[in-house]
Amino acid sequence: MDRPLRRLFLFFALLFVALILQLTYVQVWAAPDLKTNPANTRAVAEQMKLERGVIVSADGVELAVNRQEGEFFLREYPQGDLVSPWLGYNHQRYGRAGVERVYNEELSGQSGLLGITGYWNELLGKTRRGADLKLSINMGMQRVAVEALGQRKGAVVALDPRTGAVLAMTTYPRYDPNRLAELWSDINSNDDKPLLNRAIQGLYPPGSVFKTVVAAAGLETQAVVPETTFVDTGSVAAGGFVVNNYGGNVYGEHDFTRAFASSINTTFAKLGVSLGADTLATYASEFGFGKDLPWPLGGSKSSFPDAGDLDKAHVAQVAYGQGEVLATPLQMALVASAVANGGNIMRPYLVAQVLTYHGQVLDETEPSVWLRPISAETADTLRSLMVKVVESGTGTQAALSGVKVAGKTGTAEVAQGEPHAWFTAFAPADDPRVVVAVLVENAGTGGSVAAPIARKVIAAGLGL
């Protein structure tokens, strides 16, 4: 064989080997990821020949069901956009999102014993059916949360602090998963991002709701007690940066209980500087900042700047939730839940049970502790401080007749537009069963905008 032919032979031989290696990679190593990739619509179309499991709320409301057309089982969503931000969709053309994506193996009958049973049914000529999901969502609370938020850009999250169960979660704007084919182009070109679940993906300066973390650090380290006295003149300088109280208010001599209830920026700036960047960063981390959310639905990681990057001016700013602190509404709900649950933050969850179509429980979520940022004693003290916020401070619009509510307002200044309105709360304060976090973008003060929303959701959760 002459040299040119030998080179040509070697070239094609190498191409053949490369092709074999690529096919081996795709068929063996990459196959599981490709199969579950939500963008792999061929896999979605194939699985739509299977009867997918239904999804129901904790109170038995159907959220996702099937409609058979020929050989395909098409998904329908009876609640429309009420639950779409986290329920997601299963669509032949657009793939999957939300619970439909994360729990696809269970819903399509591919996981564990259900998968073996499904293949056996196929051999017998029976229709293969996936597992059903029972969620932790209370649709009564969900509807109230959606109505209370209205058409204001933002998010609402409600948890049971004792277990971590998500009781309600909504965001606006939303989309109707029944109309994806009709609206897909508009949804994706909309600057308000209807596909974004702001409750777990939106990152916002928390403003004064972050003072709960700073107060916890001060109480745990004994830098302050509720009776510690401060003097406010309306402003304080820190490293060349001047901190002012919201609205230009001047409070004079006051104790730490009043500082928390009235959300006095200057006092928290002083406390933050005295604690130092390292202590603030440590406690932010203990509450979950900088950590991935501990559940399969994912979400954005809330952040606190590196202590080494904070000079005195920046320490003063982060101490009242401004500067480079960013948080999701779910993260701030978890912060409040630590206070409500004796210092423990439970792992949040949305799926309570995985069931066969006969109702047999295949898997059930067992509540577990995620973090313990503070002691029970500090939690009790913070609880009393938060009660004062609602009784006589900035959060009086969250008050409920006959029920003691604990809360914290936040009015987070942003570069453009009105401040973001925040409120975190739990009730009953003496035996908390519901924790709520509310965020409304560019809406004004937390006490006037977010607190009334939280009050309605808490009332629904307590059956009032």
- Torsion (CA) 273, 437, 423, 265 in degrees, nearest 10: 0
Q: Looking at 57, 111, 208, 300, which residue is catalytic?
A: 208
For residue 141, the tally of other CB atoms under 10 A from its CB is 28
Question: Token pair 């002691």 is at which residue?
Answer: 375
For residue 262, indicate whether it is catalytic: no
Phi-psi region of 438 (alpha: psi -120 to 50; beta: other; left: phi over 0): beta
How is residue 227 annotated by DSSP?
Answer: T
- Torsion (CA) 452, 443, 142, 97 in degrees, nearest 10: -160
Q: How far apart are CA 388 and CA 196, in angstroms?
A: 35
What residues form DSSP beta bridges with 120? none
Strands of 58-174, DSSP E: 62-69, 72-76, 89-91, 95-97, 132-135, 154-159, 166-172
Q: How far apart are CA 374 and CA 376, in angstroms?
A: 7
Q: How far apart are CA 102 and CA 122, in angstroms?
A: 24
Helices (H) and strands (E) in the chain, counts: 18, 19
With CA atoms as reference, report the closest residue to 137 among 124, 146, 148, 149. 146
What residues form DSSP beta bridges with 151? none
Long-range CB contact pairs, 75-81, < 8 A, 24+: 75/100, 75/177, 76/178, 77/176, 77/177, 77/178, 79/139, 80/176, 80/177, 80/178, 81/174, 81/175, 81/176, 81/177
Collapsing DSSP to helix, strand or coil, 372 comes out as: coil
Collapsing DSSP to helix, strand or coil, 48 comes out as: coil
Q: How far apart are CA 171 and CA 276, in angstroms?
A: 35
Sorted by sequence, the CB contacts under 8 Å of residue 163 that are 6+ apart come out as 346, 367
Q: How far apart are CA 206 and CA 288, in angstroms?
A: 14
φ/ψ of residue 134, rounded to 5: -110, 120
Q: How far apart are CA 168 and CA 163, in angstroms?
A: 14
Q: Which two tokens stand for residue 341?
A: 């649950």
* Burial class of residue 56 (count of CB atoms within 10 Å of its CB; 0-12, 13-18, 19+): buried
Catalytic residues: 208
